[in-house]
Amino acid sequence: MSRYLDYSNAKLKINDVKVLEPPSKQFAFSCCRRLRICGGPIAPFGLEDSFKPQFSAYKGQSTVCFGGRIVTGQIWNVASTVFMTVLPGLYYMYYVLPRALPDGGWWSFLGVSSRIMSWIILGAFFMSSFSNPGIVPRSSERPRELEHHLDLRGNPAHRYLRINDKTVKQKYCLTCNIYRPPRSKHCQFCDNCVLRFDHHCTWLGNCIGLYNYRYYTTLIYTASIYLLQCEWVIFHVLGEVAAQTNESGLMTIFGPFYEEPMLIFLLVYCLVLLVAVLLLSVYHTVITMQNLTTNEHVKNYYRDNPFDFGPLPNCRQIYCMPELVLAVGDDRIEADYVPFGTFSEPLSFDDC
């Protein structure tokens, strides 16, 4: 179970420090195995050992199947993305690419690498779109322990967590009846609280969170390399077309525009996609090294990020042990309804 959920426990004792057991040597392997098999959370977060579906705890806009393994959000968004990418991809693979393959054909480096990257992109796309991003199942009622900690409107008061000697405000989600775990957010599109919420991706029709962030980054990194290769192949084919023309002067340059209009369109289309995914790749590389989510970076949550332990520990946590809350050290859970001394009210993490 993700350690983030331990921070949302309404029964946490005030002014008491709860230290979670350090992860075992098999923790990283266990996390990878669970994510590989389930594609999402495990019991009691989403799956029972008997694989009995737990649909009743998921009540947002997303459709949850197989006890939390598969989540579908805006399915028409996914369908439109597939239509806009698969059709040009098939045209490229079976019409454009063969014209640039060397003597080895499909068994050449260009042919093999193109096929491998195509399958990686497809797999990462569907895992990002249909994996559970980390939806927190809702509680049916407000915990009784909070009856003595209500604000003037009768809602559970904010709580403050001390994480890595820094203070973060923790809000109570009135929709899900839970204290939101650290770095979580209630998505307005999916109507769910999502663990380590990064952003809601319209093109994938799903949130990007704790459990599918690695698939998402795999998608954009591989797509960047693949599109760079596509641009090279298209320019190579256009160069051969220009070399075969009998015209001279400017017609040598503009000849392919008349003879291969679909190829020119594909060139521009791939260039637009390349710019988009390349910018995303650079951006997510930067925030990953700082251990920030897109949501935290855009809203400037932290003056001093409590989750940042340096580029290498940050990357190891995000890509190898995502269920850990802190990249280094033990998880020490300390909560209070009065701000700790390190809390700074004007910062935007006041809205966590």
Q: Which residues of 296-324 are buried (b: 16+ CB within 10 A; e: fewer)?
A: bbeeebbeebbbbbeeeebebbbeebbbb
At 44 the pLDDT is: 42
By mean pLDDT, which of 49-53, 105-109, 148-152, 335-339 is the weakest?
Answer: 49-53
With cut-offs at 50, 70 and 90, classify the pLDDT of residue 255.
Answer: low
Which pLDDT tens digit goes with each residue over 68-115?
A: 788 888 889 999 999 999 999 999 999 999 988 887 788 889 999 999
With cut-offs at 50, 70 and 90, classify the pLDDT of residue 331.
Answer: confident
Which pLDDT tens digit goes with each residue over 260-319?
A: 788 989 999 999 999 999 999 999 999 999 999 999 999 988 888 999 999 999 999 999
DSSP three-state, residue 248: coil
Please tell me the distance from the alpha carbon of residue 32 to that of residue 211, in angstroms, as a whole number. Answer: 10
CA distances from 115 to 98, 119, 121, 232 (A): 12, 6, 10, 16
Is the backbone of residue 139 left (phi > 0), alpha (psi -120 to 50) or beta?
beta
Question: Among residues 78, 46, 42, 79, which one has the least CA distance to residue 65?
Answer: 46
- 45/127: higher pLDDT: 127
- Number of domains making up the chain: 1
Question: Among residues 349, 352, 306, which one has the least CA distance to residue 329?
Answer: 306
Which pLDDT tens digit goes with each residue over 215-228?
A: 999 999 999 999 99
With cut-offs at 50, 70 and 90, classify the pLDDT of residue 48.
Answer: very low
Domain extent for 105 = 3-351
Strand ranges inside the chain, DSSP E: 17-19, 63-65, 70-72, 159-163, 166-170, 172-173, 178-179, 185-187, 192-194, 199-201, 206-208, 332-336
Which pLDDT tens digit goes with each residue over 153-187?
A: 888 888 998 888 888 889 999 999 999 999 999 99
Please tell me the distance from the alpha carbon of residue 256 to that of residue 241, in angstroms, as a whole number. Answer: 6
38 pLDDT exceeds 60?
no
At 144 the pLDDT is: 82
Scanning the structure block, which residue is given the tokens 């400037």? 300
With cut-offs at 50, 70 and 90, classify the pLDDT of residue 256.
Answer: low
Please tell me the distance from the alpha carbon of residue 218 to that of residue 103, in angstroms, as a whole number. Answer: 31
Please tell me the distance from the alpha carbon of residue 285 to that of residue 58, in angstroms, as a whole number. Answer: 32
With cut-offs at 50, 70 and 90, classify the pLDDT of residue 243.
Answer: confident
Please tell me the distance from the alpha carbon of residue 265 to that of residue 97, in angstroms, as a whole number. Answer: 15
Q: What is the reported pTM?
A: 0.86
Cβ proximity of 35 and 198 under 8 Å: no
